[in-house]
Structure 1
Amino acid sequence: MSVLGDRLKLEREKRGWTKKYVSEKLGFKRVSTYANYEYGIRDPDTDMLVKMAQLYETSIDYLKGISNARENRDAIDELNQDIDIKNVNDIIQKYTLKIDGRVMTEEEARGFLAFVRANRSID
C-alpha cells in the first residue's frame, strides 16, 4: 500500500465509513475506483485529491505523506484571523517569530513593535 492509500483508509475507518459511502460522496459509479486508490493501484488526479482532502477535512500534503500534520481546522481559522499585537509577551509565547530564518528574541520583537508604532505615528 502507498502512503496515500494508508491515509485514505485510516481517515475512512476513523469515521466509520465504508468504501461504498466514500465512493458515493466522491461521485464514483463503482466502489472499485475508490478502492484502487486505497490499495495503491491507482493515483487520483489533482481535482480528486482536492475532493478527498475536503471530505476528510485535511490537507493534500497530509494525504500524500508530504506532511504528518493533519491540519487542525481551529488552528487554521485562528491563523486566518487578524492578529492584534498589543502584548508582545502573548505573541512570543503563542507564535515563533522569525526573520531571515532566525527566531526573534523578545528584545527584537519589542523593537520591531516599537518601530512599527513609531513609523505609523509619523504618517
Structure 2
Amino acid sequence: MSDTLGKRIRNFRKKRNLSQDELADLIGKTRSNVSSYETDRSAPPSDVLAKLAEIFGTSTDYLLGKTQSSLPADAKDRFVDSLDLGNDDMLEKFDLILDGKVLDKEQFKMAVAFLRTLQQQARK
C-alpha cells in the first residue's frame, strides 16, 4: 500500500525537523490545517500543495502519489554523478527507496554500516 498525501506531508515535515506550527507558518495556515492535511481529513488547496512541494523540494505529483520519485521534475538535470553515502546530509537531499518504501534515518545508517563492513571484509 502506498503512502497517502497526509503521510508524505508528515514524513517530509519530520525529515525537515519542522513542527506542525512551523510548517503552518511557512504555508500561511494554522497548525490545525497542517494536522488535518497529515491525517488525510482534508486535502490542501492547490496553492498550498504547490507551496508544500516547493518547501520540501519535491513535486506535487509525488505528494499526490502520482509518482514514486520524490525528486522534482527538473532533478534529472541536476542529478549528481556520484553520491557520498557517508554524508549525513544526504537524507535531506534524497529519499532512498528500497522495495517501494523510503528508508528512514536509522535504516539508512544501518545500511551504510553494513556496506562499510563489506568493504572492510573485502580489503582483508
Provide TM-score, normalisation by structure 2. Answer: 0.56
Identity of aligned residues (%): 31
CA-based RMSD:
2.1
Which residue number corresponds to residue 22 of structure 2?
Answer: 21
Whose helix proportion is higher, 1 or 2? 1
Q: Which residue of 1 aligns with 2:82?
A: none
Q: 2:60: which partner in 1?
A: 60
In structure 2, C-alpha distance between the alignment counterparts of 1:59 and 1:77, rounded to whole Å: 15
Partner residue in 2 for 1:33: 33
Secondary structure, counterpart of 2:32 in structure 1:
helix
Taking the aligned partners of 2:13 and 2:26, their CA distance within structure 1 comes to 12
CA drift at 1:74: 7.4
The structure 1 segments of at least 4 consecutive aligned residues displaced by more than 6 Å after TM superposition are none
* Alignment partner, residue 6 of structure 1: 7
TM-score, normalising length: structure 1: 0.56
> How many Å apart are 1:12 and its aligned residue?
0.6
- What is residue 48 of structure 2 aligned with on the other side? 48
Equivalent residue pairs, number: 77
Tell me which structure has the larger Cα radius of gyration.
Answer: 1
**What SS does the corresponding residue of 1:35 show, helix, strand or coil?**
helix
Query: Which blocks of at least 5 consecutive residues in structure 1 are unaligned?
Result: 80-123
